[in-house]
Amino acid sequence: MIQEERLWQRLMELGEIGRQPTGGITRLSFTKEERAAKEKVAAYMKEAGLFVYEDAAGNLIGRKEGTDKDAPVVLVGSHLDSVYNGGMFDGPLGVLAAVEVVQTMNENGVETKHPIEVVAFTDEEGARFRFGMIGSRAMAGALSTDELNYQDANGVSVAEAMQEAGLNPHHIGKAARKPGSVKAYVELHIEQGRVLEEANLPVGIVTGIAGLVWVKFTVEGKAEHAGATPMPLRRDPLVAAAQIIEVIEQEAKETGTTVGTVGQLHVFPGGINIIPERVEFVLDLRDLDAAVRDNVLQSINEQAQKIGKERNVKVTTELLQEMPPVLCSELVQNAAKEACQKLGLDVFSLPSGASHDGVQLVGLCPIGMIFVRSQDGVSHSPDEWSTKEDCAAGVNVLYHTVLRLATG
Ligand code: HGY
Ligand code: MN
Ligand code: MN
Ligand code: MN
């Protein structure tokens, strides 16, 4: 039924858009690379016989009518934007799998009671601006227009980027879906971790998604001459930042479940022979339990202030985004379990350490996810890889899950 070769070909084709000389893919929201990816997927959606449109947030949507056109829609999809120098499966696999599911239904004359909409969400990763999930937040009606003033590293705001992409930021509220209008949201995604590989299984059913916070730390000291300033007289913000980052690692390790990462750090002015004036870095802190995560954050903040005092540097923090941990619904998990049984696949459940658009939709409808095994658990890297066989297993599970939800 599913045409695995077609899915794989499309994945490889899409994987060339935004390819960097470093080997990874950079496809940031509202850029020409993301536009090119959307155009290609829109063409695939048309081939699949879907009615294709973009909503006010730039979410690309392909709709298959149901026999009961007033029935709440089953939403299936993921995202097309990437992190810097990322992989080719994170996001596109879920979008292309959703297209393949509906194209297979149309090609075999399969009718469903509920309409089905395939969605490619705008800016899931948050790589360009200070927060992500712009498209799914807009669909959930959880995005205020003042947040569209946040700027990227070149001083371009979300609103300006939207305008450049032909969207009117003032209309973003129109992307919001009415409560009750969506029956469920299902996303196929690579696991991006090692659990399925260690269990030696191709697919898994997600139980819940960890909650994250992004906190920007600014450490201000005093710029001075690297050669003429004795060590005891320095107010060096970079050494203080290094100590704070060490504390982050210690505090996260202690709970055994929390993960803390500093992937982005800037030193100002950045001269070799200048003791830095200021250092900025962003903490990404996650746990399936928000209370545990927030306790760790509090402890990090307390120790950061102590380090600041000891080193006579000023430490300030700013919350960039916070997403609560969410549970996947029994409705979607059970549909996915039935699908695995139908296909003779093990039923294996696991949590998601990575965050996903479903986190934003949990107030709108029941959500659920199906994971496909990641080779060596690697993601957000050019080395991200899943085999054709595992992707095919995942899309077959997605097919039966969506069929169950859209006909039941
Ligand atoms: O950061 C994440 O967990 C996701 O890839 N946006
Ligand atoms: Mn993703
Ligand atoms: Mn990602
Ligand atoms: Mn996602």
The mean pLDDT values, 10 residues at a time, for the chain of 408 residues are 95 97 95 96 98 98 95 98 97 98 98 98 95 96 90 96 95 96 98 97 97 97 98 98 98 96 98 98 97 98 98 97 95 98 97 96 97 97 98 98 96
303, burial (CB in 10 Å: exposed 0-12, middle 13-18, buried 19+): middle
The CATH label, of 3.40.630.10, 3.40.50.300, 3.40.50.10800, 3.40.640.10, for the domain at 4-209+325-407 is 3.40.630.10
CB 336 within 8 A of CB 205: yes
CA-based torsion, 62, 170, 176, 14: positive or negative:
positive
Instruction: Determine the 3-state secondary structure of 384 from DSSP.
Output: coil
Ligand 1 atom with least separation from CA of 192: 5
What is the per-residue pLDDT for 69? 83
The residues placing their C-beta within 5 Å of ligand 4, an ion, are 124, 356-357
Q: Give which of 117, 110, 108, 121 is closest to 69, Cα–Cα.
A: 117
Secondary structure (DSSP) of 10-34: HHHHHTTTTB-TTSSB---TTSHHH
Distance 228 CA to ligand 4 centre (A): 50
The tokens for 2 are: 């599913």
Q: So what's the ipTM on this one?
A: 0.90
* 400 labelled ligand-binding: no
For residue 405, the surrounding DSSP H or E stretch is helix 388-407
- The angle subtended at Cα 152 by Cα 151 and Cα 157, nearest 5°, is 35
Provide CATH 3.30.70.360 ranges for the chain. 211-323
Closest CA to 97 of 402, 357, 379: 402
Pocket test residue of 323, 326, 355, 360 for ligand 1, highest count of atoms within 8 A of CB: 355
First CA to last CA distance, the chain: 21
Mutate to test the pocket of ligand 1, among 82, 285, 356, 371 (most ligand atoms within 8 A of CB): 356
- Tell me the H-state helices in 312-364: 330-342, 358-361
- What spacing in Å lies between the alpha carbon of 24 and ligand 4's midpoint? 18
The ligand whose atoms approach the alpha carbon of 126 most closely is 1
The type of residue at 367 is I
The pLDDT assigned to 145 comes to 81
**Strand (E) or helix (H) holding 100:** helix 92-107
What pLDDT sits at residue 144?
83
Ligand 1 center to 356 CA (angstroms): 6
CA 51 to chain centre: 26
8 A C-beta contact, residue 331 and residue 72: no
Evaluate whether 247 touches 340 at the Cβ level (below 8 Å): no
Closest CA to 301 of 217, 211, 213: 217
CATH 3.40.718.10 given to domain 211-323: no
C-alpha of residue 380 to centroid of ligand 2, in Å = 9
> Cα(227) to centroid of ligand 1, in Å?
42
* Residues 390, 188 contacting (CB under 8 angstroms): no
Please give the pLDDT value at position 408.
80
Cis amide bond preceding 269, omega within 30: yes
Q: Provide the sign of the torsion angle of the four alpha carbons 9, 349, 255, 194, taken in this order.
A: negative
Residue 187 carries which DSSP code? E
User: Where in the chain do CATH 3.40.630.10 domains reside?
Assistant: 4-209+325-407
CB 266, CB 335: distance < 8 Å: no
Helix, coil or strand: residue 320: strand
Pocket of ligand 1 (CB under 6 A): 124-125, 132, 354-355
Number of the ligand 1 atom closest to the C-alpha atom of 126: 6
Torsion angles phi and psi, residue 397, rounded to 5: -65, -40
Round to whole Å and give the CA distance between 239 and 218.
Answer: 13
Four-residue CA torsion sign, 157, 159, 163, 166: positive
